[in-house]
Amino acid sequence: MVAQAAQDPPRVIGIIFGPPGSGKGTQAARIEKDFRLKHLSTGDILRAEVAKGTPVGTEAGRIMAAGDLVPDELIVDIVRSRLPEAETGAGVLLDGFPRTLRQAQALDAMLAGEGHRVDRVLALDVPEKDLVERLLHRAAVEGRPDDTREAITERMHEYHKLTEVVLDHYRRQGVPVEIVSGMGSPDEVFERIRRVIGISSRMGKGGTKGKRS
């Protein structure tokens, strides 16, 4: 069954993109459910490694707590090992990856090796002061080690310095990049995303380059 599914091409490779705290994880879980895409979150995978106390988790945990990005090679290896299984379903929604140009290039090469490419990017847009408020609120509720004020400042800095360029990388390739406001309640944001994804109930159809919703 798995072998047969593995021969089928994935329907879509989507990326949910945005600064820390923009709601990528929150919305990706909803998209996964409604659009039957396999949600692959590098943040979740790393946190699971930290919780298990694996060597990868020990290395990543320190870096994450400081608000820095873990090394590209480590993340690329993780995605390379998980992508084939994720691709056996209706499609994949990447969350938190790629976060640097090198990661994007590695992803493109991985996909090209199978005759695929990124089909669509959904970018959540939230003003920085709201992001900081959300993350500080999460710190109070969940106590995540990377939600301290210092780590949040560093994560925002890394986002502007290393991650934002990924959007232009895909725009240059002609991949539809949809900017969606991440303000309002999670339900309101999801409604916007649903509209953008379209009534076809599948990502990868239509879309307008750089359109804002």
Residues forming contacts to ligand B4P in the complex (CB under 6 A) are 18, 20-26, 42-43, 46, 63-64, 68-70, 75, 96-97, 99, 103, 134, 138, 146, 155, 184-186, 189
Alpha helices per DSSP H over the chain: 2-7, 24-35, 42-52, 55-65, 72-86, 101-112, 128-142, 149-158, 165-172, 186-197
Least separation in angstroms between residue 179's CB and ligand B4P is 15
CA distance 204 to 188: 22
- Which C-beta is closer to ligand B4P: that of 22 or that of 35? 22
Whole-number Cα distances in Å, 95 to 14, 48, 98, 140, 169: 9, 15, 8, 24, 17
Least separation in angstroms between residue 114's CB and ligand B4P is 20
- Which C-beta is closer to ligand B4P: that of 70 or that of 92? 70
Task: Tokens for 202, please give them.
Answer: 């599948």
Least separation in angstroms between residue 185's CB and ligand B4P is 6
Chain residue at closest Cβ approach to ligand B4P? 43
Task: Tokens for 73, please give them.
Answer: 């090679």
DSSP structural state of residue 19: S
Least separation in angstroms between residue 172's CB and ligand B4P is 20
- Which C-beta is closer to ligand B4P: that of 11 or that of 190? 190
